Every structure is written in structure tokens, then in C-alpha cells.
Amino acid sequence: MTSLSRDDVAKLAGLARIEMSEEELVALSSEFTVILDAVARVQEVASADVAATSHPLPLRNVFRPDVVVPSLSPADALSGAPAQEEQRFRVPQILGEE
């Protein structure tokens, strides 16, 4: 039986950039024990000789002619921005002060 501890869930939530309350961490940890047991069934038939399928279509690279076409105006591109400044997205600080 696979299980995920409260700390495992907290680590995953950090990787996924989701703040979680203590109540959520504990609840998810207990739910995952049940869910992981159910999904682990895939291992019963996934033997080494079976090829993996990542996509239903056998596509390789798909190219189009390199032709300039109209694109969004700056105003349209910024229309949903939570904050903007000088025709740019204004975002919180990414790097430290130094």
C-alpha cells in the first residue's frame, strides 16, 4: 500500500505552487492513500515489452509556412492583466534585492 504523509503532500503542494492549510494537507494525505491504491493497478499489466503511448495521434513536428499574420494588439494582450505599467505586465518581485 502506497501512502503519502502530510509532509509529502506539503512538499508536492510547494512544487505545484499551492499554499495549503493544515486541514487540507491532512485531508489530502488520507485521500491519496485510497486513490494511489486504485491507480497503482496500472502496474499489473505495464510490463517491459509494452510500448508507451503519450498521444493518440502519431504526430511528429508540425510546421506551418513562416508568414506574418495579425496578432493581438498590446492593449488586447494586456486586457486581462492583474496589474500593468508602461504597456507591460507588472509582476511581483522575482529576484532578491541584491
Partner 1 sequence: MIRNSASDMASKLAAGEITSVELTQAHLDRISDVDKEVHAFLHVDTQGALAQAAAVDAKRKNGEKLAPLAGVPLALKDVMAQKGIPTTCGSKILEGWRPPYDSTVVTNLKNNGIIILGKTNMDEFAMGSSTENSAYGPTHNPWDLTRIPGGSGGGSSAALAAFEAPLAIGTDTGGSIRQPAAVTGTVGVKPTYGGVSRFGLVAFSSSLDQAGPCARTVLDAALLHEAIAGHDPKDSTSINAPVPAVVHAARAGNVKGMKIGVVKELNGDGYQPGVRKRFEESLELLAAAGAEIVEVSAPNFEYALAAYYLIAPSECSSNLARFDAMRYGLRVGDVDGASAESVMNLTREVGFGREVKRRIILGTYALSSGYYDAYYGSAQKVRTLITQDFNKAFEIADVLVSPTCPTTAFKIGEKANDPLAMYLNDIATIPVNMAGIGGMSLPSGLADEDGLPVGFQIMSPVMKDERMYSVGSALEAALLSKWGAPLLSKIPVLAGSK
**In whole angstroms, how close is the CB of 75 to partner 1 at the nearest point?**
9
70 interacts with partner 1 by CB under 8 A: no
**In whole angstroms, how close is the CB of 98 to partner 1 at the nearest point?**
14
> 71 phi and psi, to 5 degrees?
-125, -175
| DSSP string for 57-85 | S----------------HHHHTTT-SSEE
Residues making contact with partner 1 (CB under 8 A):
4, 8-9, 12-13, 15-20, 24, 28, 31-32, 34-35, 38-47, 50-57, 59, 62, 64, 72, 76-77, 79-83, 89, 91-94
